[in-house]
Structure 1
Amino acid sequence: MNTLTSSTQLAIHGGEKTVTTSFPWPIFDEQEVQAVADVVRSGQWGNPDCAGLVAEFEQQFADYCGSKYAMTCANGSVSLRMAMIACGVKPGDEVIVPPYTFIATASIVLEVNCVPVFVDIEPDTYNLDPTAIEAAITERTKAIIPVHFAGLPCNMDAIMDIARRHNLRVIEDAAHAHGAEYKGRKLGSIGDVGSFSFQSSKNLNSGEGGIVITNDDALYETMNSLRNVGRLPHGQWYDHFNPGCNYRITQLQAVLLSQQLKRLDEQTITRDENGIYLDSLLADINGITPLSRGNVAIRHSHHLYIFKYDKSEFGDTSKADFVAMLAAEGVPCSGGYPHPLYKQPVFQQKNWMCYAIPESVDYSQTYCPVAERACSDEAVWIFQFAMLGTRSDMESFAEAIRKIQRTVNK
């Protein structure tokens, strides 16, 4: 349990921290240790047949998400790449992506010799803005990759409507969204393919790894072949029908994920409830605006809790200085991305090493104002493990912000 301090001096200047709770991650006990130890003792560590414990976890995750198929792979970047190839994109095709997300969402588009087209985000959710998608569609557009950023569901009704009218594939990037829901459906299960990451910071993790889910038989067969060096079920061991690689995970990862999956629902509910409570607390602080949950039924997985910061209510303190003060007060936080994806050197310097992208593509001319503001001035992240704390912890996060505001406005 956290105890609020009465110190008026900021911790960054030597005062007492407002937040004294620690937030361990990952969370595990002897069940995980024993399950992994049993696999170690068995000597069956690998997964050459894509069977055994790996197949068991895949079925568990498919059932959890309400999808027909789930297929594990090396990481969340590979899962996106395989989904794109299976969806039939060709060199030079355009793929719509948001500029406010991890690099992999756009870099895998380059990897398959396609052109990322950056469409701005909504100012109240930081998710891909459906009202801007249609204007970005051309005859070369083949897919949309909506990112459920921080675990907040995108407006999937609008995105799916646009995609179906324009005959586009939808690949949900749900790397932040394990357990999150949109109108009663698990994220990842709404588009043609859903992609998840099991990297160590993620809400469901095994250190590294990824998974794709789909209800489409043909997409599953292709992705399953791609992750297993191009093999097909009817072929021989050394028959390779597609240009795939070994993207398999191990039995050790699978059994760890099976154990962690048992915790996911309870943890997701805790994060979501804490997020709603923290929204109510921060809404009363001038200059702090929680992101909107929209007007439909959702469950937010809060891989990140994000609020918008207005320095004019904090003595013109820069976002970077505010985040440093907040972290010193004991809140696990970050200012997020320093700039939108299109400003990364790989795009600005055309270091994409792809033969199919026209020379006319010039990301130096790309400008998404909402993403720019989020990166430079507004967005502050609180990490997912902190959202597993108590209501008292949420109160202490809010008090840390109020303490900073009182101090800088003196």
Structure 2
Amino acid sequence: MDTTPSIAKLAIDGGEKAVKTNFPWPIYDEQDVQAVADIVRSGQWGNPDCAGAVAEFEQQFATYCGSKYAISCVNGSVSLRLALIACGVRPGDEVIVPPYTFIATASVVLEVNCVPVFVDIDPNTYNLDPKALEAAITERTKVIIPVHFAGLPCDMDAILDIASRYKLRVLEDAAHAHGAEYKGKKLGSIGDAGSFSFQSSKNLTSGEGGMVITNDDALYETMNSLRNVGRLPSGQWYDHFNPGCNYRITQLQAVLLSEQLKRLDEQTHIRNENGIYLDNLLADIEGIAPLSREPVDIRHSYHLYIFRYNKAKFNQMPKQAFVAMLAAEGLPCSSGYPHPLYKQPVFQQKNWMCYAIPDSVDYSQVYCPVAEHACADEAIWIFQQAMLGTRSDMDSFAEAIRKVQHAINQ
């Protein structure tokens, strides 16, 4: 008699899915619809004075983050750009960025005619590695942009200590980190300024939009002027004191974001608790390792839940093929970035169209081994809307991985 245990048929081969829940995003109700409808009926759709519903949402968001000021703008890329300019960078200055993040973190540096300097990530967190940071600082370094990638807080104590010793500005890229906390402080409120995105996939969204927060009066005044075609409160309508553009959001976006903000704390709590629970489940699967949340007190926003994949425990199955199997099982997931930012054509081919980048800058010589390994072989993402599921959903995520592993190894 054959006593070999049966193997569940993989969904990619026509079997039943391990994950049966759908996870819609965005989440909205009739209050969201009514708020937008009220603005539509009012006829006051625009935001020429940065007032009304826009100003109200800015105050709400600043209060939520524990910051003095919040300046809304058209997207998270522009919010980074406004903050960099306000920080006083000059053509040819260097700005330290991680290589494992969305292109905007580095491309906005090029847009302000500065040089992105890529510093590798910590293998346990995928955030900027403070141990590698100090060695990258030169006399031309002006700003550090730590990215709270996936919503996991960077080691801000170490980064701020280095920045203080070298008199550098710290601009937090918190595009993934709405509601996340580091030692009781909301991310984005810890450095000189913090940048957020409200793009359609983000944990707080109006389809598009951005925000930059700060406690610095001078930074606020400059950023507020830059996003509103260089105007100042003391000037006339057609007085333009700074080289800004119209980066304002609309009243429609503002009221939608105000409604969405009411849900953010509860949603962040659910994602954080589910992340802790899923960490424990996946830690028991050989070849799967969740990213570290240690050693400090944090709240993770889980814009992405990331785990590390060791193909040696999966019969040498390439990461992309493994992810395809998981996706077929119903798990909302991705293999993430195909390569670090410095390998993008804009950097390799020097297509930066800036006049102040020295000819000596050569990104073909940059190599960040941790980021390379994460992109090619290791990092797997689960999307944020899935982290709003139930404990049973988290169980099904782990079951999908075990199911695929069992099938591969057989």
**Which letter maps to 1:16?**
E
User: Counterpart in 1 of 2:375?
Assistant: 375
Q: Is the 1:179–1:187 Cα contact (8 Å) retained in structure 2?
A: yes
CA–CA separation in structure 2 for the residues paired with 1:92 and 1:302: 35
Q: Is the 1:94–1:114 Cα contact (8 Å) retained in structure 2?
A: yes
SS in 1 for 2:108: helix
Q: Is the 1:7–1:15 Cα contact (8 Å) retained in structure 2?
A: no
User: Counterpart in 1 of 2:386?
Assistant: 386
After superposition, what is the alpha-carbon deviation per residue over 1:294-316, rounded to whole angstroms, capped at 9, x for unaligned? 21100000000000000000011
**1:92 maps to 2:123:** no
SS in 1 for 2:269: helix
**1:199 maps to 2:196:** no
**Which letter maps to 1:30?**
E
**Which letter maps to 2:359?**
E
CA–CA separation in structure 2 for the residues paired with 1:134 and 1:296: 21
After superposition, what is the alpha-carbon deviation per residue over 1:45-78, rounded to whole angstroms, capped at 9, x for unaligned? 0000000000000000000000000010000000
User: Counterpart in 2 of 1:282?
Assistant: 282
SS in 2 for 1:40: helix
Write out aligned runs for 1:34-45 (5 A).
34-45=34-45
CA–CA separation in structure 1 for the residues paired with 2:122 and 2:47: 42
**Which letter maps to 1:130?**
P
**Which letter maps to 1:292?**
S
**Which letter maps to 1:83?**
A
Write out aligned runs for 1:312-351 (5 A).
312-351=312-351
**Which letter maps to 2:235?**
G
CA–CA separation in structure 1 for the residues paired with 2:34 and 2:82: 33
CA–CA separation in structure 1 for the residues paired with 2:200 and 2:71: 19
User: Counterpart in 1 of 2:208?
Assistant: 208
Q: Is the 1:7–1:16 Cα contact (8 Å) retained in structure 2?
A: no
After superposition, what is the alpha-carbon deviation per residue over 1:162-190, rounded to whole angstroms, capped at 9, x for unaligned? 00100000000000000000000000000
User: Counterpart in 1 of 2:244?
Assistant: 244
Shift of residue 7, structure 1, vs aligned partner: 7.2
User: Counterpart in 1 of 2:54?
Assistant: 54
SS in 2 for 1:256: helix
User: Counterpart in 2 of 1:175?
Assistant: 175
User: Counterpart in 1 of 2:127?
Assistant: 127
User: Counterpart in 1 of 2:150?
Assistant: 150
SS in 2 for 1:308: strand
After superposition, what is the alpha-carbon deviation per residue over 1:361-396, rounded to whole angstroms, capped at 9, x for unaligned? 000000000000000000000000000000000000
After superposition, what is the alpha-carbon deviation per residue over 1:25-64, rounded to whole angstroms, capped at 9, x for unaligned? 1000000000000000000000000000000000000000
User: Counterpart in 2 of 1:229?
Assistant: 229
CA–CA separation in structure 1 for the residues paired with 2:285 and 2:20: 22
CA–CA separation in structure 2 for the residues paired with 1:408 and 1:20: 21
**Which letter maps to 2:25?**
W
User: Counterpart in 2 of 1:309?
Assistant: 309
CA–CA separation in structure 2 for the residues paired with 1:7 and 1:279: 25
User: Counterpart in 1 of 2:3?
Assistant: none
CA–CA separation in structure 2 for the residues paired with 1:409 and 1:375: 23
CA–CA separation in structure 1 for the residues paired with 2:175 and 2:228: 22
SS in 2 for 1:351: coil
SS in 1 for 2:265: helix
CA–CA separation in structure 2 for the residues paired with 1:7 and 1:244: 62
Structure 2: unaligned runs, 5 residues or longer: 1-5
Q: Is the 2:332–2:383 Cα contact (8 Å) retained in structure 1?
A: yes
Q: Is the 1:24–1:385 Cα contact (8 Å) retained in structure 2?
A: yes
Q: 1:56 to 1:7 in 2, by over 3 A?
A: farther
**Which letter maps to 1:390?**
T
CA–CA separation in structure 1 for the residues paired with 2:115 and 2:303: 28
Shift of residue 133, structure 1, vs aligned partner: 0.5
CA–CA separation in structure 2 for the residues paired with 1:379 and 1:294: 18
Structure 1: unaligned runs, 5 residues or longer: 1-5
CA–CA separation in structure 2 for the residues paired with 1:93 and 1:53: 37
Scaled by the length of structure 2, what TM-score is found? Answer: 0.98
**Which letter maps to 1:345?**
P
**Which letter maps to 1:357?**
I
User: Counterpart in 2 of 1:3?
Assistant: none
Shift of residue 277, structure 1, vs aligned partner: 0.2
After superposition, what is the alpha-carbon deviation per residue over 1:320-343, rounded to whole angstroms, capped at 9, x for unaligned? 000000000000000000000000
CA–CA separation in structure 1 for the residues paired with 2:392 and 2:344: 39
CA–CA separation in structure 2 for the residues paired with 1:313 and 1:134: 36
Supply the RMSD in Å over aligned alpha carbons: 0.7
**Which letter maps to 2:328?**
A
CA–CA separation in structure 2 for the residues paired with 1:149 and 1:96: 15
After superposition, what is the alpha-carbon deviation per residue over 1:260-314, rounded to whole angstroms, capped at 9, x for unaligned? 0000000000000000000000000000000000211000000000000000000
Q: Is the 2:7–2:406 Cα contact (8 Å) retained in structure 1?
A: no
CA–CA separation in structure 2 for the residues paired with 1:364 and 1:294: 34
**Which letter maps to 1:129?**
D
Q: Is the 2:96–2:116 Cα contact (8 Å) retained in structure 1?
A: yes
CA–CA separation in structure 1 for the residues paired with 2:298 and 2:7: 38
CA–CA separation in structure 1 for the residues paired with 2:296 and 2:123: 17
